[in-house]
Amino acid sequence: MARKSSRKKRKFKPFRFIVLMLILAILITSGAALGLVFVSVKDLPAWNENALVPSTATQIYDKDGIQVSQIGLENRVQVSINDVPENVQNAFLAAEDHYFYEHHGIRIEAIIRAAYSDALHFAGINKQLQGASTITQQLVKLTFLTPEKSLKRKIQEAILSFKLERRYSKKEILEMYLNQIYLGEGAHGIQAASQTYFGKDVGELTVAEAATLAGLNKSPNYYSPFQNKDQSISRRNQVLKSMLEYNFIDQETYDQAMSEELTLKQNDSESDSNYPYPYFVDYVTDELIDKFGEDKVFKGGLKVYTTMDPKVQKYAETAMANPNNFPASQKNAEGIMQPQGAMVVMDPDNGEIRAIVGGREHTHMRSLNRATMSPRQPGSAIKPILAYGPAVELKGMGPASIIDDVPVTYSAYSNYSPKNDDGVYHGLVTMRTAITKSINVVAVKLFTDYVKMPEAINFAKRMNINLDQTGPAMALGGLRNGVTPLQMTAAYAAFDNHGIYNDPVAILKVEDQDGNTLFESENTSRRVMKETTSYLMTSLMQSVVQSGTGTGAQIGRPVAGKTGTTDEGKDIWFAGYTPDLVGVVWIGYDTPTRMQRSYGGIYPARVWKEVMQQAHKDIPSHNFIEPPGITTATVDNKSGLLPGANTPPEDMVTDIFAAGTVPTKTDNVHVLTEVCATTGLLPNQYCPDRITRVMLKLPYTVPKNVADYSMRVPTEMCDVHGPAETFDNDDESDDSSFSWQELPSDLREQDNGNN
């Protein structure tokens, strides 16, 4: 028989076991929780207060201070809480956290309620997860944390929320939150959302509009009024109901807001684009980056006040997009290629750029801007800058000054011989005639012989056109590096602006997001020519538009301008101005290519006319202002001197002069010359008839292909008439004493004419 054990067997006590298990579970859970808290604290994101100020888009304003565009990584406009109406603030509090001013960053009861709801969700009882985040927690999550849903992230969120509440006031937290949240349609922050959906600043929102925006935070895409208007209104009404329930609005305000129609911003062609006025904005962007760097420009929320006139900019963009304003496209090995174009419009009084278009289409941000980045050969458009302007300014010449358009060769420059586009040498012409017809030889002679190249190049340098001396062909646009439309516009503006040059200006002022001025443009005006020079040049270029190569730019008001066409039409230009605006148009291929039957007076003048007619619609027509020191005189248009005794009436011309440049000598070119009536050459002793003509006498000879060759004093002797023939005395005729002089005068003229 087995012996019984002396140790008593303990009776199992379930209650004690449960208690022990609970204690063990609590210890394990507490240890795990402490471990989780430790890990959460250890991995807590670095506290970076700069992150609380989000990247903010740079705002671009036009010349009238109206916002027209923005640049930045996000569509966000920083706004002070003081500029956010109380009703807007309350709408977000009602929708997201009506106890905001009572808690210290988190609400324990909300967390417990959310945890219970989430447990039911995971058990398949409750379909929807319950949110429990306060506005402070949401801000922390937006700023420091990832969207990951985990207990660790929740612990970090709570820790950071307490820290945020200790460092900032409730108003500061609410301001940061309203500037951080994403509200759909690319709008970050309350101000950007207000502009996106309603086309107004946040300070102008109604209660109903504020509730609409507050309702977006729950699901920006689903509740977008652009995408789902009915759902947006339903969500708005829920927010309004909460505002009434939490005493943020009274019953009357609630009723009025509930009945308000949802009126959204109308998306016209300009506002519908995320990138309006792209070439102008690109130009401004590049200037800003040069001054402030990319981070400041794309993230710093700058306010940039520009010189752009949106109407003129749009006119130029439309004209550049019109295929009728361009020569036909051409085929090459790579397919169809189309000619490109560029245009700049400027206010001549101050250099402020009103429009920049750098191509027919804008393909991507900061595309090639041909208006500012592509120097091209200017053709005859450079003549006022390198030939006529210096001649007037430096040599005292004027519209009635005379240049002989005859063949010339420059042996020092590889026997360069300029040719006229029409193939004609016109002889003695005034400067007005020469520029009106764009006579090449005259421009080359002015540049090379009258002014001299270095002086002409220095004159151009005054207007920021810096050129290397290459030879006489420079006068016709044969430049080593070319010029941009922007450079040409600024230079022509000096002729328009009474001889005063202004550096081109696109940015007037830059402020940071707090309103502090970071940059302000300075007056850079300087005199580059006499006022009388600019007026005489304007008068000359008015003739180009009135009756010369630029008639295609006539717009029914005073216009001055100059065409430009390079060899084979590879670059074609029109540079023109009124008393109010100056504009330059260039057309050509990016890789210089021949354009048949293309001239500056056709397509560029057409673009210029289309833009300027619209740009001047609201500007009264008026003339260019004549300065003091301009006088009028009549001169001989073959010598440029005062009419002499031999000056024919048809060779007298009345024109304007700068005071002190009216000639004092009389014409010595027209002379009375006896010539053979038959040949027009100098008579020999046998010429039966001689006549005296008024002819042109100069100390040199010209070839016969010069248009006025027949008007010049001949240098050759008549070779038709010789010694008179003797009659045969054996002649049976009784007429040995016959004389031509005995014939009736009418028969003599007839016979002479038949001789």
Give the active site residues: 96, 380
**Angle, CA of 478, 484 and 489, to the nearest 5°:** 110
Contact in structure between 562 and 541 (CB atoms under 8 Å): yes
Give the Cα separation of 103 and 694 in Å (integer). Answer: 108
CB 530 within 8 A of CB 626: no
Q: How many CA atoms does the CB half-sphere of 302 hold within 13 Å?
A: 27
Question: Cα(first)–Cα(last) distance of the chain, in Å?
Answer: 180
Question: What is the token pair recorded at 672?
Answer: 């009375």
Cα 520 to Cα 506: distance, rounded to the nearest angstrom: 11
C-beta separation of 326 from 337 below 8 A: no
226: three-class secondary structure by DSSP: coil
User: How many C-beta atoms surround the C-beta of residue 596 within 10 A?
Assistant: 9
Nearest one of 408, 386, 400 to 436, comparing CA atoms: 400
How far is the C-alpha of 324 from the C-alpha of 313, rounded, in Å? Answer: 19
CA distance 104 to 100: 8
For residue 429, give every residue at least 6 positions away whose Cβ sits within 8 Å of its Cβ, in sequence order, or none: 402, 403, 404, 405, 439, 442
Please, what's the b/e burial string for 78-88 (b: 16 or more CB within 10 A of its CB; e: otherwise)?
bbebeebeebb
Q: Kindly state the tokens that stand for 471.
A: 């030879």
Q: Tell me whether strands 58-61 and 303-306 are parallel, antiparallel or unpaired.
A: parallel
One-letter amino acid identity for 660?
G
8 Å CB contact between 360 and 429: no
3-class state of residue 277 by DSSP: coil
Q: What are phi and psi of 124, to 5 degrees?
A: 85, 10
- Report the alpha-carbon distance of residue 366 to residue 60 in Å, rounded: 15
Cβ neighbors of 260 (< 8 A, separation 6 or more) are 206, 208
CA distance 352 to 521: 10
**CB proximity list for 386: less than 8 A, separation 6 or greater:** 443, 447, 456, 457, 459, 460, 467, 474, 475
Distance CA 453, CA 441 (A): 15
- Dihedral sign for Cα atoms in the order 541, 547, 552, 553: positive
Rounded to an integer, what distance in angstroms lies between the CA atom of residue 539 and that of residue 534?
9
Q: Is 340 left (phi over 0), alpha (psi -120 to 50) or beta?
A: beta
Dist. CA 698–CA 689, nearest whole Å: 25
Name the percent of the chain in helix, strand, coil, to the closest 5: 40, 15, 45
Q: Determine the length of the chain.
A: 755
Residue 333 backbone phi and psi in degrees, to 5: -60, -25
Closest alpha carbon to 192 in 301, 344, 316, 336: 301
Provide the strand spans (E) within 338-444: 340-346, 353-357, 402-405, 427-430
Classify residue 241 as exposed, middle or buried by CB count within 10 Å of its CB (0-12, 13-18, 19+).
middle
Residues in Cβ contact with 66 at an 8 Å cutoff, skipping those fewer than 6 apart: 310
Which H helix or E strand runs over 632? strand 630-636
Report phi then psi at 718, rounded to 5.
-55, 130
Token code pair at residue 225: 């009024």
